[in-house]
């Protein structure tokens, strides 16, 4: 395929289109009866087990998807990413989040320069700083230890760190290291988020980390100014130097804000916001909370998947298989959504994080060359931990829309409980559901089965489950920092694979700009109307009417 041609014009794409009819004729019940097929669809790597036998796909489907990958130059694109080429062409940037977790001493070049030493210089600085704060060597303006940390940031400067923090919170090793400390996240510009964060906090014992790649994001900067005021009002303006540090690529703006550049932790334009949790964006707040050693394990887990993704043949490559399956489900079977269903409460923030990684990356309407696409890209990601989701939206995924599901289970619980007299441990109870749900979706329940159970005839259709609903199961050995890193990298690379095959730029996000600039116009109008009584001008009828109501009804 020529680099500017669309993937849908290739023979491999057309072949897959034709293949859909064969697959639609075959029920998962039938596919699941072939043990050889099922065995070939289970792969293991570094303690992880992926079972994708409940996908509506045959071995032939995978051969065809491999052809598609070839036509899309998937291998070459992966290599370009790892080689630091500027594959984010609309922003003229390379995409090197893999360098953030590369082992010390390895070589990853961007523009002919090895970036790994720079990465480790910042990691060493974080280690030293976080140890000083945690040990009480770095104290606040009144000499008290800083035991609370507020990380201010939004989007990629928030969701990844929140996901990892939530996952580590109940890991016994991490929890012990975090004893006596609290990490808070302030993301929303809604003053309610500020109020909730500050409830019970004492500025004397609080350290603030302002996290923003650009250091221009309106919400983050307003929240940072609000918290700076909170510190200054309580402890005096000179206290800011002891109580506020920053993470950014824009160190000039950090200094302008009033944060000592010595207390700024850098990262680089080759780290996309939603791929930045392994940079100082995540590493600093998480090291302050858990200590650097725990975070280093997380980086190692991610790095293990990076090496696997870069080197293992596609038929055994976890992110590649997952990415190709997503393309199959979205572009060929026509399923636009994906449910992320971890059977672990500790992973409750996985879906919100992956929502940004996936939807901001792959929700695009044009190819990387700017050609409008005649096919949809991206999927609608959502999810909740099991079993909570079962009592919420599972009805729809069992009997309503077909939504491919990712079931994620953990072998050893972070917090095992075995109550006397109970049939199974609490974790076994949870996992019973993890094992049952994929089969319920795949096999369903037929009217014949219901008749045999003497179900009244008026309820037969209501109680029938069509089945044939695809899912995959990923089993993790445990949920510690290392496994969390693995999980993160699997999803990051899966999203990249999808984007590479669809032929889009997964690393820009122009779609967030229009709303931001319209908000600027509204902000100016609100200011002009409130302060100078200026009339509302330049808006359509509807927006003008809403603004008028808002201004009038909110007058003191
Ligand atoms: O929502 C758009 C976005 O640019 C995200 O891509 C990014 O993660 C977020 O805003 C925050 O940006 P910054 O880190 O520059 O404050």
Q: With contact defined as beta carbons under 8 Å apart, do 356 and 377 qualify?
A: no
Q: In angstroms, rounded to a whole number, what is the distance separating the alpha carbons of residues 337 and 250?
A: 36
Task: List, for residues 187-206, the tens digit of each pLDDT value.
Answer: 999 999 999 999 999 999 99
Q: What is the largest CA-CA distance in the chain?
A: 78
Helix (H) or strand (E) run with residue 402 in it: none
From ligand 1's centre to the CA of 272, what distance in Å?
9
Helix (H) or strand (E) run with residue 473 in it: strand 471-476
In 3D space, the residue among 317, 405, 397, 404 whose CA is nearest the CA of residue 43 turns out to be 317
Residue 199 structure tokens: 């409830």
The residues annotated as belonging to the active site are 360, 391, 516
Number of residues assigned to the chain: 556
Q: Is the CB of 220 under 6 A from ligand 1?
A: yes
From ligand 1's centre to the CA of 197, what distance in Å?
21
In 3D space, the residue among 341, 381, 364 whose CA is nearest the CA of residue 494 turns out to be 381
Which has the minimum average pLDDT: 180-184, 356-360, 417-421? 417-421
Q: In angstroms, rounded to a whole number, what is the distance separating the alpha carbons of residues 471 and 56?
A: 9
Q: Is the CB of 155 under 6 A from ligand 1?
A: yes
> How many Cβ atoms are within 10 Å of 145's Cβ, its own excluded?
18
From ligand 1's centre to the CA of 3, what distance in Å?
30
pLDDT for 442 beyond 90: yes
In a 3-state reduction of DSSP, which class is residue 339? strand
Task: List, for residues 501-537, the tens digit of each pLDDT value.
Answer: 999 999 999 999 999 999 999 999 999 999 999 999 9
In a 3-state reduction of DSSP, which class is residue 15? helix
Helix (H) or strand (E) run with residue 281 in it: helix 280-290
> How many Cβ atoms are within 10 Å of 56's Cβ, its own excluded?
24
What proportion of the chain, given as a percentage, has pLDDT over 70?
Answer: 99
Q: In angstroms, rounded to a whole number, what is the distance separating the alpha carbons of residues 71 and 327?
A: 14
From ligand 1's centre to the CA of 136, what distance in Å?
32
From ligand 1's centre to the CA of 116, what distance in Å?
24
Q: Is the CB of 269 under 6 A from ligand 1?
A: no
Helix (H) or strand (E) run with residue 382 in it: strand 380-382
Q: In angstroms, rounded to a whole number, what is the distance separating the alpha carbons of residues 497 and 325?
A: 10
Tokens 């993937």 locate to 7
Q: In angstroms, rounded to a whole number, what is the distance separating the alpha carbons of residues 190 and 192?
A: 5
Q: Which residue has the least CA distance to atom 8 on ligand 1?
A: 156
Task: List, for residues 452-486, the tens digit of each pLDDT value.
Answer: 999 999 999 999 999 999 999 999 999 999 999 99
Q: Which residue has the least CA distance to atom 10 on ligand 1?
A: 155
Q: What is the position in ligand 1's atom list of the atom closest to the CA of 153? A: 16
Give the pLDDT band (50/70/90) at residue 556: confident
Task: List, for residues 87-102, the tens digit of each pLDDT value.
Answer: 999 999 999 999 999 9
Task: List, for residues 288-308, the tens digit of each pLDDT value.
Answer: 999 999 999 999 999 999 999
Q: Which residue has the least CA distance to atom 16 on ligand 1?
A: 212
Give the pLDDT band (50/70/90) at residue 5: confident
Q: Which residue has the least CA distance to atom 2 on ligand 1?
A: 512
Q: What is the position in ligand 1's atom list of the atom closest to the CA of 154? A: 11
Q: Is the CB of 545 under 6 A from ligand 1?
A: no
From ligand 1's centre to the CA of 269, what distance in Å?
12
Distant-in-sequence, close-in-space partners of 103: CB < 8 Å, separation ≥ 6? 303
Q: Is the CB of 273 under 6 A from ligand 1?
A: yes
How confident is the model at residue 376, as a pLDDT?
94
- From 163, 213, 354, give the residue whose CB has the most ligand 1 atoms within 8 Å, as the site to mutate: 213
Task: List, for residues 399-417, the tens digit of each pLDDT value.
Answer: 999 999 999 999 999 999 9
> How many Cβ atoms are within 10 Å of 205's Cβ, its own excluded?
16
From ligand 1's centre to the CA of 398, what distance in Å?
36
Q: With contact defined as beta carbons under 8 Å apart, do 309 and 320 qualify?
A: yes
pLDDT for 71 beyond 90: yes
Tokens 């908000």 locate to 519
How confident is the model at residue 555, as a pLDDT?
86
pLDDT for 52 beyond 90: yes
- From 156, 249, 357, give the residue whose CB has the most ligand 1 atoms within 8 Å, as the site to mutate: 156
Task: List, for residues 234-273, the tens digit of each pLDDT value.
Answer: 999 999 999 999 999 999 999 999 999 999 999 999 999 9
Helix (H) or strand (E) run with residue 341 in it: strand 337-342
- pTM for this one? 0.97
pLDDT for 2 beyond 80: no
Q: What is the position in ligand 1's atom list of the atom closest to the CA of 156? A: 8
Q: What is the DSSP string of 36-71?
A: HHHHHTEEEETTEEEE-TTSS--HHHHHHHHHHHHH
pLDDT for 3 beyond 60: no
Is the bond into 448 cis (omega within 30 degrees of 0)?
Answer: no
Q: Which residues pair with 148 in a beta bridge?
A: 182, 206
How confident is the model at residue 317, as a pLDDT?
98
Q: Is the CB of 91 under 6 A from ligand 1?
A: no
- From 91, 152, 155, 160, give the residue whose CB has the most ligand 1 atoms within 8 Å, as the site to mutate: 155
Q: Is the CB of 213 under 6 A from ligand 1?
A: yes
pLDDT, averaged across the chain: 97
User: 34 phi and psi, to 5 degrees?
Assistant: -95, 95
pLDDT for 53 beyond 80: yes
């Amino acid at each position: 395929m020529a680099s500017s041609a669309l993937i849908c014009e290739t023979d491999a794409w057309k072949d897959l289109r034709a293949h859909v009819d064969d697959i639609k004729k075959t029920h998962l019940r039938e596919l699941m009866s072939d043990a050889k097929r099922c065995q070939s669809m289970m792969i293991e790597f570094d303690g992880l087990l992926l079972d994708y036998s409940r996908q509506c796909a045959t071995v032939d489907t995978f051969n065809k998807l491999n052809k598609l990958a070839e036509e899309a130059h998937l291998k070459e694109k992966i290599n370009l990413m790892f080689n630091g080429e500027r594959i984010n062409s609309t922003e003229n940037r390379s995409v090197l989040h893999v360098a953030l977790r590369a082992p010390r001493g390895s070589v990853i070049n961007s523009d002919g320069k090895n970036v790994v030493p720079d990465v480790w210089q910042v990691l060493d600085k974080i280690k030293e700083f976080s140890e000083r704060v945690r040990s009480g060597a770095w104290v606040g303006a009144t000499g008290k230890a800083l035991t609370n940390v507020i990380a201010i940031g939004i989007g990629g400067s928030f969701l990844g760190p929140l996901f990892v923090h939530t996952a580590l919170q109940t890991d016994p090793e991490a929890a012990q290291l975090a004893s006596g400390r609290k990490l808070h996240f302030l993301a929303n510009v809604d003053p309610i988020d500020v109020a909730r964060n500050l409830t019970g906090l004492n500025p004397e014992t609080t350290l603030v980390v302002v996290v923003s790649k650009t250091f221009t994001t309106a919400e983050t900067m307003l929240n940072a100014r609000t918290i700076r005021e909170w510190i200054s009002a309580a402890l005096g303006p000179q206290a800011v130097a002891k109580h506020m540090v920053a993470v950014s690529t824009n160190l000039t703006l950090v200094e302008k804000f009033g944060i000592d550049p010595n207390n700024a932790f850098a990262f680089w334009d080759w780290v996309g916001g939603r791929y930045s949790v392994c940079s100082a964006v995540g590493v600093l707040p998480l090291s302050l909370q858990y200590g650097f050693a725990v975070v280093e394990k997380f980086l190692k887990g991610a790095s293990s998947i990076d090496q696997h993704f870069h080197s293992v043949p596609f038929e055994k490559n976890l992110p590649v298989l997952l990415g190709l399956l997503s393309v199959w489900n979205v572009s060929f079977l026509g399923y636009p959504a994906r449910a992320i269903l971890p059977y672990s409460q500790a992973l409750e923030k996985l879906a919100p994080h992956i929502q940004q990684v996936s939807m901001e990356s792959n929700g695009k309407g044009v190819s990387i060359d700017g050609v409008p696409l005649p096919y949809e890209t991206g999927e609608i990601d959502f999810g909740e931990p099991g079993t909570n989701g079962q009592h919420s939206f599972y009805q729809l995924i069992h009997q309503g829309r077909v939504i491919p599901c990712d079931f994620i289970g953990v072998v050893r619980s972070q917090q095992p409980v075995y109550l006397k007299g109970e049939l199974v441990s609490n974790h076994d109870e949870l996992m019973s559901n993890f094992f049952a749900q994929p089969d319920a979706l795949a096999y369903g329940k037929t009217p014949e089965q219901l008749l045999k159970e003497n179900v009244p005839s008026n309820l037969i259709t209501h109680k029938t489950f069509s089945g044939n609903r695809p899912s995959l199961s990923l089993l993790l050995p445990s949920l510690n920092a290392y496994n969390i890193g693995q999980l993160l990298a699997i999803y990051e690379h899966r999203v990249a694979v999808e984007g590479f095959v669809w032929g889009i730029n997964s690393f820009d996000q122009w779609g967030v700009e229009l709303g931001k600039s319209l908000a600027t116009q509204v902000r100016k109008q609100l200011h002009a109307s409130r302060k100078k009584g200026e009339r509302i001008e330049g808006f359509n009828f509807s927006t003008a009417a809403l603004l008028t109501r808002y201004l009038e009804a909110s007058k003191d």
